[in-house]
Amino acid sequence: RAAGRDVMIGVVETHGRKETAALLDGLARLPPRDVAHRGHTLAEFDLDAALRRKPAVLLVDELAHSNAPGSRHAKRWHDVRELLDAGIEVWSALNVQHLEGLNGTIGAITGVRVQETVPDRVLDEADEVVLVDVTPDELTARLAAGKVYLPAQAERAARNFFRKGNLIALREIALRRTAEHVEDDMRGWRVEQSGAASGPGGRGGEGGVQAWDTSGAILACVGPRGDAAQTVRTAARLAARLSVRWHAVHVETPALQRQPAWRRDRTLEVLELARELGAETAVPSGADVARTLAAEARRLNCATLVIGRAEAASGWRRIRLRVPLARALARRAPSLDIVEAAAAPSSRRLPRQWPRAARDAPGDDEDGDGDGGDARAGRPPVPWRGCAWAVVSGSAVTLIATPLSGVLEEVNIVMLFLLGVVGIALRFGRAPAALAALFNVAAFDFFFVAPRFSFAISDVQYLVTFAVMLAVGLLVG
């Protein structure tokens, strides 16, 4: 009103309190609508008069109030919706026990089941929520002073609903519910900022607003690996322990879009598990997993990421140049806390119901390029395959080196054989590497060491060469 706006009181329930009535002095007030009911005259809010008067701001008290029989709407919050649709700004009030979603919880705490309730969505859709917070002791003092109920009601209320333990619990619930609304406002603002940052002239991607640890929200990364379900369960436990919301995200990269159907189905099942455990799920697309996850964390205001623990490198992966996901995330979003979930032993095997094509797949890998080993993990190694490759590798080196024996020195030929041993060791491990070393030593001795085409050795120094080749294979394997 001080700003020059047209402010009017639609209805205020004073319940006979002089302190409340005094606050109404000087404000324009809409006359009530008298309704006869069971021999009594009820003063009800006049919705039609409010719509005709159409003030800029209208105060409508007790949002959860049930209207008298014969009214256009059964509940006062229905009246408020019609006022809002007419373009009138409405200010209202309610107690936390009047929220429908909390009715059962508060009833169990207080022993009183409140009959007049408001759907939670009414509070969620409010443009602004202001919590009028008082301590239990202060509220008890106001109750005793007759500032809440008239003396006859106050004494009875103090023995029942307004016990100190109940007030402490109700205060905590009200604070949490208000914080949820504020968090929704924060997320909405962040979505707007993300859109502005990625739009024309915006900073986009990594230059957007960083995640703020205001809510402790958690983001779980769901990948195609077999331990993704364990990652989801870890995130759910953390969220439950901290009493915070959490999200599960699967980044759809071009490589993952080419994955076989059974692996995509498994990912969808893990996302469904996340939903069952209380997560909000999403499947954003992006070529860079770390970049997309960082952007999602900023959009959802999640300051903690839960990812699957990277497997110990084995085989060819030891010499790959790809940056691990945790390190890439640390570089993309240094303000994020990153939690690596340990893989449960059972998650290292594919479930029995997967088709044989899945069980025989070359393995699971974080980026779906088929060089992982989750499908094989937990099963005994198959050395015969590596041994076969050891023989093939040695034979190939022999065929390549034979026409070059007149050009290359023996030491260079030894290097070719040694390269084959190292390759087998990296790919298949120690046992095939040992076989490769023995086979290559025999091939080198038979085809390239005088006297040729025999296993006789004219120079004992070749024994050192053979020993080194065997040692390298064992060490690398």
pLDDT digits over 325-354, tens only?
A: 888 888 888 888 888 887 665 444 444 444
The least confident of 252-266, 319-333, 369-383, 385-399 is 369-383
247 in Cβ contact with 280 (< 8 Å) = yes
Q: What is the pLDDT of residue 324?
A: 79
Nearest to 263 by CA among 382, 385, 372, 380: 372
- Is residue 358's pLDDT more than 50? no
Q: What is the mean pLDDT of residues 150-163?
A: 78
What CA–CA distance (Å, rounded) separates 91 from 399? 89
Domain boundaries, the chain: 7-181, 218-359, 383-476
Pairwise CA distance, residues 178 & 130, whole Å: 8
pLDDT at 322: 52
Tell me the pLDDT band of 132, cut-offs 50, 70 and 90.
Answer: very high
**3-state DSSP percent of the chain in helix, strand and coil, to 5:** 50, 10, 40
Tokens of 93: 């009030």
- Which tops the pLDDT comparison, 386 or 314? 386
Q: Which residue has the tokens 């995640």?
A: 211
* DSSP 8-state code for residue 362: S
Written as six digits, the tokens of 435 are: 């076989």
Reported pTM: 0.50
Quote the DSSP letter at residue 167.
Answer: H
Select the more confidently predicted residue: 243 or 7. Answer: 7
pLDDT tens for 26-39 read: 899 999 998 887 87
Q: In this predicted structure, what is the pLDDT of residue 348?
A: 41
Does residue 107 carry a pLDDT above 70? yes
pLDDT of 367 strictly over 90: no
Whether the CB-CB separation of 420 and 395 falls below 8 Å is answered with no
Give the residue, 69 or 429, on which the prediction is more confident: 69
Residue with more model confidence, 145 or 316:
145
pLDDT bucket at 97, cuts 50 / 70 / 90:
very high
Cα 222 to Cα 409: distance, rounded to the nearest angstrom: 53
Contact between 196 and 202 under an 8 Å Cβ cutoff? The reply is yes
Buried b (16+ CB within 10 A) or exposed e, 355-386: eeebeebeebbbbbeebbbbbbbeeeeeeeeb
3-state secondary structure (DSSP) of residue 295:
helix
Report the alpha-carbon distance of residue 426 to residue 407 in Å, rounded.
29
For residues 45 and 101, what is the distance between their CA atoms, to the nearest angstrom? Answer: 26
Nearby residues of 135 by Cβ (< 8 Å), 6 or more positions away: 171
> Which stretches within 214-253 are classed as H helix?
228-242
pLDDT at 50: 96
List the one residue out of 118, 142, 131, 134 whose CA is nearest residue 167.
134
Mapping DSSP to helix (H, G, I), strand (E, B) and coil, where does residue 387 land? helix
> What value does the mean pLDDT take over residues 88-95?
95
Return the minimum-mean-pLDDT range out of 83-87, 255-259, 386-390. Answer: 255-259
| Pairwise pLDDT comparison (85 vs 462), residue with the higher score | 85
Cβ contacts of 286 within 8 Å, gap of 6 or more: 251, 252, 253, 292, 295
For residue 145, the Cα-to-chain-centroid distance in whole angstroms is 49
Percent of the chain with pLDDT over 70: 82
User: In this model, does residue 235 exceed pLDDT 70?
Assistant: yes
- Mean pLDDT on 108-123: 90
User: What gap in Å lies between CA 282 and CA 249, rounded to an integer?
Assistant: 5
Q: Label residue 247 by pLDDT band (50, 70, 90).
A: very high
Provide the pLDDT for residue 220: 93
DSSP, collapsed to helix, strand or coil, labels residue 57 as strand
> In the predicted model, what is the mean pLDDT of residues 261-287?
89
Question: Within 13 A of 230's CA, how many CA atoms are on the CB side?
Answer: 17
Q: Give every CB contact of residue 404 below 8 A, 6+ residues apart in sequence.
A: 413
Which 3 state secondary structure label does DSSP give 475? Answer: helix
pLDDT category at 64 given cuts 50, 70, 90 is: very high
Task: Look at residue 417 in the predicted model and tell me its pLDDT.
Answer: 85
280 DSSP β-pair partners: 247
pLDDT at 62: 93
Distance, in Å, from the CA atom of 64 to the CA atom of 78, rounded to the nearest integer, reads 10
* CB contact at 8 A, 298 and 211: yes
User: 218-359 in CATH: which number?
Assistant: 3.40.50.620
Average pLDDT of the residues in 163-190:
84
Tell which wins on pLDDT, 79 or 161. Answer: 79
DSSP character string of 399-443? HHHGGGTTTS-HHHHHHHHHHHHHHHHHHH-HHHHHHHHHHHHHH
Whether the ω angle into residue 451 lies within 30 degrees of 0, i.e. cis, is yes
Q: What is the mean pLDDT of the chain?
A: 80
Q: 194 falls in which pLDDT band (50, 70, 90)?
A: low
- The pLDDT value recorded for residue 198 is 53
- What's the one-letter identity of residue 377? A
The closest of 216, 170, 210, 163 to 190, measured between CA atoms, is: 210
Percent pLDDT > 90 in the chain is 26
| Residue 209 pLDDT > 60 | no
Local confidence band at 309 (pLDDT 50, 70, 90 cut-offs): confident
Say whether 218-359 and 7-181 share the same fold: yes
> Residue 215: its pLDDT value, please?
58
Condensed to tens digits (0 to 9), the pLDDT of residues 396-450 reads: 988 988 888 777 887 888 888 888 888 888 888 778 888 888 888 888 878 887 7
Q: Is 3.40.50.2000 the CATH number for 7-181?
A: no
Question: Which among 311, 315, 312, 320 has a CA at the least distance from the CA of 476?
Answer: 315
